[in-house]
Amino acid sequence: MVKILGIETSCDETAAAVVEDGRAVHSSVVSSQVDLHARFGGVVPEIASRAHVELVGDVVAEATMEAGVELHELDAVAACHGPGLAGALLVGVSAAKAISLATGIPYVGVNHLEAHLYAAWLVDADLTPPLAVLLVSGGHTTVVVMEDHGRYRVAGETVDDAAGEAFDKVARLLGLGYPGGPAIDRLAPDGDAAAIRFPRAMRGEPDLSFAGLKTAVANHVRAHPDAPVADVAASFQEAVVDQLVEKLLAAADEADAPTLVLGGGVAANSRLRERVTEAGEAAGRRVLLPPRALCTDNGAMIAAAAWWQLTAVGPTPLDDVTDPNLHLVSR
């Protein structure tokens, strides 16, 4: 029985959780900074770092209290050490290292992308690779074949914008505010997804692209200022989802992976979840959709990934540094 405290401060959520053996969530606290950034239309890195400094102590205290453990009773403390905003990452990593130094429990530095992937084990404790995984967040859009624990092969990734970034930019264009993904998700059901045929980029290729789609939406809105916003939102969302589903299914076919997994903030999207579920059924593949709260940034996924990493390769030295551009690499 190994209890790990996971801390996540890579972007605009200050989060902490206590998870046992990489699977059982004892507590999970997420403090969103959305209100602080909304009036700027996006995350302001300096504001995010300062807010993390103010919040991280309370969030950790709440997570340990809810789990009924004292810091020294934990078996390890983990933090996301990349990828993410440089200053924001430093806050969580410094907090985790301080806890490690003060209590003597080991520190584990966790890759944010690997954490999104390991959220799946919080849903199915017995999940076994190979898996075809779609990691879709504000900063990343990657189709990964997880061949085994710690063994990843990137089947395809975006050559320009991330899917979440496209949602956020298009939402801003449509005057829907920040964060854009949830706003478009909410509005799209009121619109006609077939109203406008936006382009689907890189058909038949493993990689993805969203920059052209974003421009197509901007051009359409300029040419048709009276087009119903819900139709534009729904048609845009359908174009993104089409691309994502095509690439995920192709990777699963190519790797003969029996299970499809979604991870990352955009995995909370209702239409994406619906379409992947349908596509999985049609292809005879199992679909594992973590609940929305485990798709968007949280501490539980950090603690989960940390358990697998601790078990396989041991603790991370305290002189480990943060890396804002960290990639998903096999151990």
297 binds Zn ion, rule: CB under 5 A: yes
Plot region of 49 (φ>0 → left; ψ -120 to 50 → alpha; else → beta)? alpha
> Which residue among 167, 198, 210, 307 contacts ligand KG4 (CB under 6 A)?
167
DSSP 220-280: HHHH-TTS-HHHHHHHHHHHHHHHHHHHHHHHHHHHT-SEEEEESGGGG-HHHHHHHHHHH
Distance, in Å, from the CA atom of 297 to the CA atom of 25, rounded to the nearest integer, reads 15
CB of 288 to Zn ion, least distance (A): 17
CB of 73 to ligand KG4, least distance (A): 30
**Judged by CB, which is closer to ligand KG4: 99, or 217?**
217
Length of the chain: 331
DSSP 72: G
Which residues 153-212 are close enough to bind Zn ion by CB under 5 A?
none
Closest residue to bound Zn ion by CB: 137
CB of 104 to ligand KG4, least distance (A): 31
236 binds ligand KG4, rule: CB under 6 A: no
Residue 130 preceded by cis peptide, ω within 30: yes
Build a one-symbol-per-residue string for 245-274: x at contacts with ligand KG4 by CB under 6 A, - elsewhere.
-------------------xxx-xx-----
Cβ neighbour number for residue 120 with a 10 Å cutoff: 22
**Judged by CB, which is closer to ligand KG4: 3, or 140?**
140
Which residues 4-23 are close enough to bind ligand KG4 by CB under 6 A?
11
CB of 112 to Zn ion, least distance (A): 6
> Which residue among 14, 64, 111, 137 contacts Zn ion (CB under 5 A)?
137
Distance, in Å, from the CA atom of 235 to the CA atom of 233, rounded to the nearest integer, reads 6
R_g of the chain, CA atoms, integer Å: 20
Q: Identify the CA nearest to 143 among candidates 58, 14, 266.
A: 266
297 binds ligand KG4, rule: CB under 6 A: yes
Asked if residues 232 and 191 have their Cβ atoms less than 8 Å apart, the reply is: yes
> Which residue among 139, 191, 280, 315 contacts ligand KG4 (CB under 6 A)?
139
CB of 263 to Zn ion, least distance (A): 8
Distance, in Å, from the CA atom of 331 to the CA atom of 72, rounded to the nearest integer, reads 28
CB of 157 to ligand KG4, least distance (A): 14
Interacting residues toward ligand KG4 by CB under 6 A: 11, 137-139, 164, 167-168, 179-182, 185, 264-266, 268-269, 296-297
Judged by the rule CB under 5 A, the positions of this chain that interact with Zn ion are: 137, 297
